[in-house]
Homo-oligomer: A and B are copies of this chain.
Amino acid sequence: MKKKVTLKQIAKELDVSVSTVSKALKDSPEIGQETIDKVKAFAKLYNYKPNNIAVSLQNRKTKNIAVIIPEIVHHFFTKVISGIEKHANERGYNVIVCLSNEDFEKEVINMETLANGSIDGFIISLSKGTQRKKDYHHLREVINQGMPLVMFDRVTDEIYCDKVVVDDGRGAYNAVRHMVRSGCKRIALVTTEEYLSVGNYRTLGYKNALEDAGIPIDEKLIVRIDDINCEKQIFELFRTQLFDGLLCVNEYFAVAALREARKRNIDVPRQLSIVAFSDGILAQNSFPRLTTVNQHGFEIGETSAKLLIDKLEEVEDDSHYRTEVIKTSLIERESTNPV
C-alpha cells in the first residue's frame, strides 16, 4: 500500500522547494527547463496527482455541483441527470446527487450540508413537500451566500434565479389539438393535485386547446389524482364518463388507463385515443405503444448544467437571470389515430 505522494515529498527528494515543484508541474517560465524535466519525470514515476481538497481550499472552487431531485426512480429525472452529468463532465465538474424524497426537511438538510464548501452550485427540482409548504428560505439563503442555483421543471416564481422549464402548457395544447384533429370529440384529462406547478400548466394547455377547438370544457372530465388511489380514480372516470380522448400528465396514469380500457374492451386507439406526458420506458413498451409528449429530459439536464457552469465561470457577474424554455415534442405512436 503506497500512500499518495505530495509536493512536499517530491521537493524533499529532489532537494528543491515545494513551490518550485508546484511551478515546474505547471510549466511556469520561472523555472528552468532542466528542473521542469526532472520534476515531471519524478512526478510521473511516483504517479503524483494534486490533492483536490487542498486545491479546493486554496482557490475556493470545488468543481463539484450538487443536483437535488425528488426521486431518482423516475425516468424523467434519470434523463435529466444524464444530461447534467454529460455537460458537467465535459467541463471538468463532478456531480453530487442528492434525493429529497419529495420531503421538505430532507431538501433543506441536503442543501445545508452541501452549501458549506463542498460544492460550487446547485441544480434543483423542488420536492412536493416544498411546493406544498411554499417555504423557500433555504433557497434564498444559498443565493444570498452568492452560490449560483438553477431550478428546473418544478420551479417557483418566488425565487429569482436561472431556470429551465418545460413548455408544459404548449405540450398539453399540442397533444389535445392532435387528438381533436384526429377526430376526438370528448377529451378527458388525468392530472395531479393542484399544488404542483407543472400539473397546472398542463391543465391550462388542455383547456386552451379545447377552447380554441370550440369544445366546451367539462369539469367532470378532469380528474386530479392523489397518487395513492390512482387505479381507483381512473376506474371511476371510466365508469361515470364517456370520452374518446385522454391526456395523462405522466406515463403511470396512462398505462393505468390503458389497463382499464383493456378490461372494458375499449380499443385503443380506435375507440379511445391516449396521450401521455413524459416519454419513458413505460410508454415506449406498452401495448399499444403510447403517443407521448416528450419533455426532453436529457436536454433539460444539459441546459441546466450549462446555465450553472456559465454562471460559475463568468468573469464579471452581471447578475441577471435567464429562464430557458425547453420545447416539448409530440411523439406519435400507436395510441392515437393519425390526423
Contact = CB atoms under 8 A, between A and B. Distances in A.
What copy number does this chain have within its complex? 2
A82 B73 contact: yes
A47 B262 CA distance: 58
A272 interface: no
Interface stretch (A9-17, A190-198, A279-287, A320-328): A279-287
A114 B79 CA distance: 23
A290 to B, nearest CB: 11
A99 B82 contact: yes
A146 B85 CA distance: 27
Interface residues of A, number: 50
B1 A144 contact: yes
Contact of A96 (B3, B51, B96): B96
Nearest to A81: B72
A281 B99 CA distance: 19
Interface in A226-265: 252, 255, 258-259, 262
B95 A98 contact: yes
Interface stretch (A53-61, A163-171, A210-218): A53-61
20 contacts: A3-B146, A4-B116, A53-B56, A53-B57, A53-B118, A54-B57, A54-B117, A57-B57, A64-B96, A72-B72, A72-B78, A72-B82, A73-B75, A81-B97, A82-B99, A85-B98, A95-B97, A281-B281, A285-B286, A286-B286
Interface of A: 1-4, 47, 49-54, 56-57, 62, 64, 72-73, 75, 78-79, 81-82, 85, 94-99, 112-118, 141, 144-146, 252, 255, 258-259, 262, 281-282, 285-287
Given A73-B75, A95-B98, 14 more contacts: A47-B141, A49-B115, A49-B116, A52-B118, A53-B56, A53-B117, A54-B57, A72-B81, A78-B78, A85-B97, A94-B98, A282-B285, A285-B286, A287-B287
